[in-house]
């Protein structure tokens, strides 16, 4: 009797082991279905996203449409119909950035604003550029593309821009021309 029980146990064990090794974890494949079809994971309309940290509200991003590609290896959110970004400084003053298109990279907290980018600061200065980045974590704006920056008394052309969110350290890089404006 012991021999027969042993043979049955051996057969059941062999079957279970075979079944166990023949099954594979398909979770990664299921996760990648959206990647293979190159479609967004979700599509949202009328977005109003607030970015905060321990000291409070830092920015608000509004857009008529968002495509969620968080299923990608380097997750991002695309805003094909443009954005309106409101940036708050230390005194809660608001500066606005509008752009025709934007991408927010999830891992780096970087917003890539493109196409007819216009930044109106709370100081009433205006930046015009084709591309501008906003680093949400460091609260810094920058570009290495051509810009026009209008202050109260100057119109500055250059190739690049760099500024903190308070616009205390705003500067045009590689200045190619300055026009002094009369008031």
Q: Which domains are assigned to the chain?
A: 38-180 (2.60.450.10)
pLDDT computed for residue 179 by the predictor: 87
- pLDDT above 70 for 9: no
| pLDDT above 80: residue 6 | no
Q: Tell the residue number behind the tokens 């059941």, with chain if given.
A: 12
d(CA 113, CA 182): 31
Q: Cα separations (Å) of 13 from 5, 6, 9, 20, 167?
A: 12, 10, 6, 10, 71
* pLDDT tens, position by position, 96-146: 999 999 999 989 989 999 999 999 999 999 999 999 999 988 989 999 999
Query: Tens digit of pLDDT for each residue in 36-50?
Result: 557 899 999 999 999
Q: For the chain, report the end-to-end CA distance as a whole number of angstroms.
A: 108
For position 181, what pLDDT does the model report?
78
Given a cut of 90, is residue 93 above it in pLDDT?
A: yes
Q: Which helix (DSSP H) or strand (DSSP E) does residue 84 occupy?
A: strand 83-88
pTM: 0.77
């Amino acid at each position: 009797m012991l021999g027969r029980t042993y043979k049955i146990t051996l057969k059941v064990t062999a079957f279970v082991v075979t079944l166990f090794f023949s099954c594979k974890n398909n979770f990664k494949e299921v996760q990648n279905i959206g990647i293979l079809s190159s479609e967004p994971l979700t599509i949202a309309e009328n977005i109003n996203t607030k970015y905060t940290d321990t000291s409070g509200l830092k920015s608000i991003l509004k857009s008529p449409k968002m495509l969620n590609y968080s299923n990608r290896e380097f997750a991002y959110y695309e805003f094909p119909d443009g954005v309106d970004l409101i940036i708050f400084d230390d005194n809660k003053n608001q500066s606005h950035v509008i752009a025709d298109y934007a991408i927010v990279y999830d891992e780096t907290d970087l917003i890539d604003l493109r196409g007819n980018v216009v930044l109106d600061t709370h100081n009433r200065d205006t930046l015009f550029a084709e591309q501008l980045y906003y680093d949400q974590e460091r609260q810094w704006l920058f570009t290495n593309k051509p810009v026009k920056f209008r202050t109260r008394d100057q119109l500055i052309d250059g190739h690049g821009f760099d500024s903190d969110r308070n616009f205390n350290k705003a500067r045009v890089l590689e200045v190619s021309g300055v026009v002094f404006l009369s008031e």
